[in-house]
Amino acid sequence: MKRLSCLILGVILSLTSIHAQSVRENMNKALIIIDIQNDYFEGGANPLVGSYEASLNANLLLNDFRAKDLPVIHIQHLANREGATFFAPNTKGAEIHANVTPVDGEKVIVKHFPNSFRETELHAYLQSLKIDKLVICGMMTSMCVDSTTRAAKDLGYNCTVVGDACAAPNLQINGETVAAKDVQNAFLAALNYFYSTVLTTEQYLK
């Protein structure tokens, strides 16, 4: 009987320790949603391939973080360079898409460069929350998601990129078109391993 009681106590302590570790790991994690804005959708000034589907997956991630009361940071790009053709300030196209609309208490950080850390408060804000793990999604995979993830890694963050919650455009080089699917896969493959762990939404939410 005494041996059984010790065994039960050991199991309880082990489960408590695992739960405490899980809570600690969650407490220092944040979701970064990059540039999911109207201009990247059909009818916008610069539509991407698969942007709507990506936004639905981003919505699943957002709901998961909200349910767990974990930090969410929305990144909103506003163009400030001469000749910019999308994300003009005070336009419908620059607004964050309805599928990931911020709610009260969720941080919105405005940026003017692809790298979400450049000349913004993002790093200082994450440090104030003692965040060291980032879950990243958004647009474009080949520009702002890529540059932000690389910068985050260089700043010491542990990054997970949720690939199917990101979207990319068709690109042109030397008179040839690189299909968005190939752009997406190439950039995610380059980020995988060192700069981040790349997962699908389903894999992340398991």
Residues marked active site are found at 35, 111, 144
Closest CA to 157 of 187, 127, 200, 191: 127
Instruction: Give the three-state DSSP class for 107.
Output: strand
CB 40 within 8 A of CB 80: no
Phi-psi region of 87 (alpha: psi -120 to 50; beta: other; left: phi over 0): left
Could you tell me how far CA 179 lies from the centroid of its own chain? 23
